[in-house]
A and B are shown apart, each in its own frame.
Chain A
Amino acid sequence: MRDSEHWQVVEQVVSANDGTLVGKTRLQKTIYLLQALGLGTSYDFEYHHYGPYAEGLAEDVEWAKFLGNLKTKEKPGHHQVPYTIFETTQPAPTVVGELSFSNAKSVLIRLEKYPAVVLELAATLHFLRASSTTVDAEKELKIRKPDKAASERLANAKSLLRELGL
């Protein structure tokens, strides 16, 4: 069976984000970027449709719902396409994984300023840069996501990575 030791960290991230985080993509990319910044989790991210994705993280959401106080609800979005909202009533933690609350919070505030698609681009670019088989990460990103990586979004994604020091 897979280890689920990080489910508390998932809940801590949502809690530190004022108790709410909107969208599975945002959750995955937020934790991907926080992991790169020293969150202390060891999720094995792999490339999916919306960029780096960890199956273990999706499983830990289920564990956090079962063992912790995390709740999810689905809301109908555009054309009734549902999206997921993660919520917890857990009070703000003193630490978020191995990050101090203030460090994690400053990252989360930055991430909340950007739409999920920019987070997706930033995480994907970082993921491709770290891949031993990718020669030119930006070029590869434009090949994989030609429309999403339109100039302004890509510029925002690169600026976000710079702000985060990644």
Chain B
Amino acid sequence: MGLSEFVFPGATHTRFAHSIGVFNNARRLVDLVERQTGKKDPQRALETCLTALLHDLGHGPFSHTFEKAQKKIHRQKKHEEWSADIISNPEGEISKILGPVLATSIASRLKKKDPSDIFDSIVASQFDADRLDYLRRDRHATGVEIGGVDFEWLLDALRVGEITVSHENDEIYTVPGLYLSEKGLRAAEGYLLARFHLYEQVYLHKATRCMESMLEQLLVSASKEVKAGSQSCLFLTKDSALTPFLAGQELSTAQYCALDDFTLWASITAWCSSTNTSIAEMARRLANRRLYKCVDIGRLQQRGSSEHALMRFKKAIREYQIANPDHILLEDTVALSPYTLHGYDEPGALQKVLIGKDEGGDKDPQDVASRSTIVGSLERVTIFRMYVEDEEKKCNLLAIWEREKNA
């Protein structure tokens, strides 16, 4: 869970444990599909379970934080593409175990964006094996009481069918997919609320996100030193796994695999003594959990302000940054909705939870939002936060917000 353990001390479970859980869910979902369709396809079943087991291999250290930092340093592949490369790499261990044909097939499945058959929905859909594991596992590990999922009931209500997808009302087509029967309606409500609450309360916790932003800032600062040829302040050894990454080089699979949480933490500890004072300060803050102060504008905005208040604030902050170039302002924006966390993706059928009708043969499942007043009333939440070094700078930003919110 990246840096969540600094907020929820129990959140120390590993990606390996999660992968085993996803594998187990995939086996159960494959069994469900086989029972409902009355067809068996042992090869696709095996491929699906192995895809589930290996789906997260390509995550870098601290998961998405690292991905965000690498975007700013040098555009590298996304974790799904790294997963595919690691699996299909002919020199790698996985390809040797699975054989090149199976390894290539699994790698291709991981890169696919739309399902071709029902087995793909087990790996990537609203009720995929991944989500059905991490929601329960992370809730258990963090110890939060909200966000319960009625897993067995959901599984019992899952149905296999053709889902109609429309792409911006442009073209309508059907894909094989999973939906819930009528009796799964309440479990679906619980499932969506669980996701919404866990994202808001756990994954997007302001202290976690603040640490992630600070780590991202540290890596970008370190990269600037390496790119400028002044990496001596970073104490990197000649064969450090971090050097090619910070230098913005195109990484080989082997170089990428050498990067892990331990490598990064070792460097952060070393950087506490860096001669670059801003790098040393940020590293010491991370090592000692001395967080930046959070200005939670999104939350303030929800208490009532004009439509353009946030944009006015952003404009004013830009002017503030120009006037105070030495102030570090870390910006954090997330659009949170119960259906999808991708701000861009349209809420098409693949991003929806669909409920079938018992009467009428479940032929045209409906969006849960049209069947449930609870889900229908959930609104998209925009989180906009700024993280600043100290209380004084926080007060400066709050004063700007007070000025701009009703301007």
Question: Among the interface residues A28, A82, A146, A148, which one has the most CB atoms of the partner chain B within 10 A?
Answer: A146
In the bound complex, do residue A81 and residue B347 qualify as a contact, i.e. CB atoms below 8 Å apart?
yes
Q: A1-B329, A22-B168 are in contact. Are A146 and B112 (CB under 8 A)?
A: yes
Within 8 A of B (CB), among A103-143: 115-117, 132-133, 140, 143
CA A24 – CA B108 in complex, angstroms? 27
Q: A28-B344, A143-B111, A147-B114 are in contact. Are A77 and B349 (CB under 8 A)?
A: no
CB contact between B349 and one of A25, A47, A65, A79 (< 8 Å): that residue: A79
In the bound complex, do residue A25 and residue B167 qualify as a contact, i.e. CB atoms below 8 Å apart?
yes
Q: Is B13 part of the binding interface, using a Cβ–Cβ cutoff of 8 Å?
A: no
CB contact between A80 and one of B172, B317, B367 (< 8 Å): that residue: B367
Q: Is B78 part of the binding interface, using a Cβ–Cβ cutoff of 8 Å?
A: yes
Q: List, in ascending order, chain A residues with CB within 8 A of B318's CB.
A: 1
In the bound complex, do residue B111 and residue A144 qualify as a contact, i.e. CB atoms below 8 Å apart?
yes
Q: A1-B329, A58-B343, A79-B367 are in contact. Are A116 and B112 (CB under 8 A)?
A: no
A9 → chain B closest CB, angstroms: 18
Q: How large is the interface on B (under 10, 10 to 19, 20 to 34, 35 or more residues)?
A: 35 or more
In the bound complex, do residue B314 and residue A1 qualify as a contact, i.e. CB atoms below 8 Å apart?
yes
A28 to chain B: closest residue by CB:
B344
CA A8 – CA B123 in complex, angstroms? 41
In the bound complex, do residue A50 and residue B345 qualify as a contact, i.e. CB atoms below 8 Å apart?
yes
Q: Is B326 part of the binding interface, using a Cβ–Cβ cutoff of 8 Å?
A: no
Looking at chain A's contact residues, the main secondary structure is mixed
In the bound complex, do residue B367 and residue A46 qualify as a contact, i.e. CB atoms below 8 Å apart?
no
Question: Among the interface residues A2, A24, A50, A84, which one has the most CB atoms of the partner chain B within 10 A?
Answer: A50
Q: List, in ascending order, chain B residues with CB within 8 A of A62's CB.
A: 311
In the bound complex, do residue A23 and residue B348 qualify as a contact, i.e. CB atoms below 8 Å apart?
no
0/1 string, B293-311, CB within 8 A of A gives 1: 0000000000000001001
Q: List, in ascending order, chain B residues with CB within 8 A of A53's CB.
A: 344
In the bound complex, do residue B311 and residue A145 qualify as a contact, i.e. CB atoms below 8 Å apart?
no
A3 → chain B closest CB, angstroms: 9
Q: List, in ascending order, chain B residues with CB within 8 A of A48's CB.
A: 342, 344-345
CB contact between B169 and one of A28, A66, A83, A144 (< 8 Å): that residue: A83
In the bound complex, do residue B111 and residue A24 qualify as a contact, i.e. CB atoms below 8 Å apart?
no
CA A105 – CA B166 in complex, angstroms? 28
B365 → chain A closest CB, angstroms: 9
Question: Among the interface residues B81, B113, B168, which one has the most CB atoms of the partner chain A within 10 A?
Answer: B168
The tally of residues in A whose CB lies under 8 Å from a CB in B reads: 43
Q: A82-B347, A145-B114 are in contact. Are A66 and B367 (CB under 8 A)?
A: no
In the bound complex, do residue B314 and residue A117 qualify as a contact, i.e. CB atoms below 8 Å apart?
no
CA A116 – CA B191 in complex, angstroms? 32
CA A52 – CA B383 in complex, angstroms? 24
Q: List, in ascending order, chain B residues with CB within 8 A of A78's CB.
A: 164, 166, 169, 172
A84 → chain B closest CB, angstroms: 8
Q: Is B321 part of the binding interface, using a Cβ–Cβ cutoff of 8 Å?
A: yes
0/1 string, A48-87, CB within 8 A of B gives 1: 1110010100100011011100000001011111111000
A116 to chain B: closest residue by CB:
B170
CA A141 – CA B7 in complex, angstroms? 41
In the bound complex, do residue A77 and residue B169 qualify as a contact, i.e. CB atoms below 8 Å apart?
yes
Q: List, in ascending order, chain A residues with CB within 8 A of B352's CB.
A: 81
Q: Is B263 part of the binding interface, using a Cβ–Cβ cutoff of 8 Å?
A: no
Q: Is B93 part of the binding interface, using a Cβ–Cβ cutoff of 8 Å?
A: no
Q: Is A26 part of the binding interface, using a Cβ–Cβ cutoff of 8 Å?
A: yes
Q: Is B250 part of the binding interface, using a Cβ–Cβ cutoff of 8 Å?
A: yes
Q: A1-B318, A25-B167, A115-B170 are in contact. Are A81 and B111 (CB under 8 A)?
A: no
Q: A80-B370, A81-B347, A81-B348 are in contact. Are A46 and B71 (CB under 8 A)?
A: yes
CA A67 – CA B113 in complex, angstroms? 35
Q: A50-B345, A133-B250 are in contact. Are A117 and B317 (CB under 8 A)?
A: no
CA A134 – CA B344 in complex, angstroms? 24
Q: A50-B345, A133-B250 are in contact. Are A23 and B175 (CB under 8 A)?
A: no
0/1 string, B324-336, CB within 8 A of A gives 1: 0000010100000
Sample of 8 more A-B contacts, CB < 8 Å, known A46-B75, A66-B312, A83-B169: A1-B331, A22-B169, A23-B169, A25-B168, A47-B78, A78-B169, A146-B112, A147-B173
Residues of chain B having any CB pair with chain A under 8 Å: 71, 75, 77-78, 81, 108, 111-114, 116, 164, 166-173, 175, 250, 308, 311-312, 314-315, 317-318, 321, 329, 331, 342-349, 352, 366-367, 370
A-B contact pairs, 24 of them (CB 8 A): A1-B321, A22-B168, A23-B346, A25-B346, A48-B345, A50-B344, A58-B343, A65-B311, A66-B308, A75-B169, A77-B169, A78-B169, A79-B366, A79-B367, A80-B367, A81-B346, A81-B347, A82-B346, A82-B347, A84-B168, A133-B250, A144-B113, A145-B112, A146-B112
